[in-house]
Every structure is written in structure tokens, then in C-alpha cells.
Chain A
Amino acid sequence: QKEVEQNSGPLSVPEGAIASLNCTYSDRGSQSFFWYRQYSGKSPELIMFIYSNGDKEDGRFTAQLNKASQYVSLLIRDSQPSDSATYLCAVNMSPSSASKIIFGSGTRLSIRP
């Protein structure tokens, strides 16, 4: 079982709709969770991070975390063509200060006009 799993997609969503990206992780002791966006040929850029169960909203983005189910998701409201990218779920697998972050394989999102 992979440590961080995502559906590779592509996920196609019409412009203006809500895009829902999902991620599951294997380490029940994981403490922090991140969503990064990566455009082709570029480095990942941080979209959101979440540490506690529940929802966290930032503009058009909402991260949702359910530690009991080992599940984290990202919702993008009012999707725009510029949101088309690969979204990487990342999990801090250990609470220590030298802990490493493991990435999922990413979900390709395509927003169609």
C-alpha cells in the first residue's frame, strides 16, 4: 500500500463548478497535511495546509481532514481554467522536527471552459 494515495485523473470539471480532490494516507500518526499545485515543468506551490479534523477555508479553496478515516480532500469552488494543474497531496509522516513529507502521485485537474 502506498503511503499517500491519490486518483491520478484526469479529473475534468466545467468552469464555475466545484472540483473535489481526494487523498488517503496510511500512517495513522500523521500530523500535518498539505495540498500543493504543480503546473507542468514547474515546482510545486503550496495551496493549503491543515492540521486538525474538520474544514479549513481559504478563498475558493477548502481543505477537509478526517483523521479517523485517514482521508484529506481539497475542494475548489468556482473553478477557473487557471486551476488546471496537477494537485499533490502531501503528508508529514512523523511529528518530529526532522520529519519528512511524502507526496502522493498527484491528480491532474482540467477545467473546461
Chain B
Amino acid sequence: GAVVSQHPSRVICKSGTSVKIECRSLDFQATTMFWYRQFPKQSLMLMATSNEGSKATYEQGVEKDKFLINHASLTLSTLTVTSAHPEDSSFYICSAGDRGALDNSPLHFGNGTRLTVT
């Protein structure tokens, strides 16, 4: 089955620093990847849609200058949390759909990155 790899799985950083999270599709090509954020005991909230070769589409309320997304190839998207603050501490999860599958095929999720900003 389709595999999405996300790295790192856990990161602790100091307030004001930037953190980069990578999301790779290992056995399929993904023109579109999605970035979600999940706070404790809450559901997944879509942050942005990452489009290969073009700008990401951000959901309302998500600061594009703070959460930088780059989708330079069909197998890699990165999310950079810039100038992180404690309120950015959360579980970040990427997902992707198989480009070769149906347009409405399920998403496959990475294992998530737990970010803690001190």
C-alpha cells in the first residue's frame, strides 16, 4: 500500500527558532499533499494544501508567512514553522493521495511530528 514518510517524529525547539518538517511519498507520486494540525483531544484541522510546482493554498486563519510550505517534487513537501512560539506546539501530520489512483482516493498519512516549543 501507499506509504507516506514524515520526519522528524518529534522535535523540541526554543521559542523563536524555525523547524522544518519533511513529508515524502515513498512508493507513489503526489501532486498534492495536505498538512494538518491536531491539538490535544481535538480533531485534525487542515492547514494548507501543498501543490507540486506552485504555491500552497492556505486555509482561513493560517498564516502563510509563518507556515512555509514547499513542494518541489512529486514526492516531497516540507512545512517550516518559522519563529515558533509555545502556542505552535502541536501534532503536525502530512498526508497525500496517490496521483495514479482515483481523484477521490483515500489519503495516506505520515506518522506525524510532535512539536514542542519551549
Contacts and interface: CB of A to CB of B under 8 A. Distances in A.
A100 interface: yes
Interface residues of B, number: 25
B16 interface: no
Contact of A92 (B44, B49, B95, B104): B104
Contacts of B104: 31-32, 51, 92, 95, 99
B42 A105 contact: yes
Interface stretch (B61-69, B77-85, B105-113): B105-113
B108 A101 contact: no
B103 A43 contact: no
Contacts of A100: 34, 46, 49
Given A43-B111, A46-B108, A97 B44 contact: no
B34 A103 contact: no
Interface in A64-101: 88, 90, 92, 95-101
Contact of A96 (B46, B91, B103): B103
Interface string B37-77: 00000111110010100000000000000000000000000
A42 interface: yes
A25 interface: no
Given A34-B106, A43-B93, A46-B106, A98 B51 contact: yes
> Top 10 nearest A-B pairs by Cβ distance?
A32-B104, A105-B43, A97-B103, A43-B109, A43-B112, A103-B44, A49-B106, A103-B43, A46-B106, A92-B104
Given A32-B106, A100-B34, 20 more contacts: A32-B104, A34-B106, A42-B111, A43-B93, A43-B111, A44-B44, A44-B93, A46-B107, A88-B43, A88-B44, A90-B107, A96-B103, A97-B31, A97-B103, A99-B103, A100-B46, A100-B49, A101-B34, A101-B107, A106-B43
Interface of B: 31-32, 34, 36, 42-46, 49, 51, 91, 93, 95, 103-112, 114
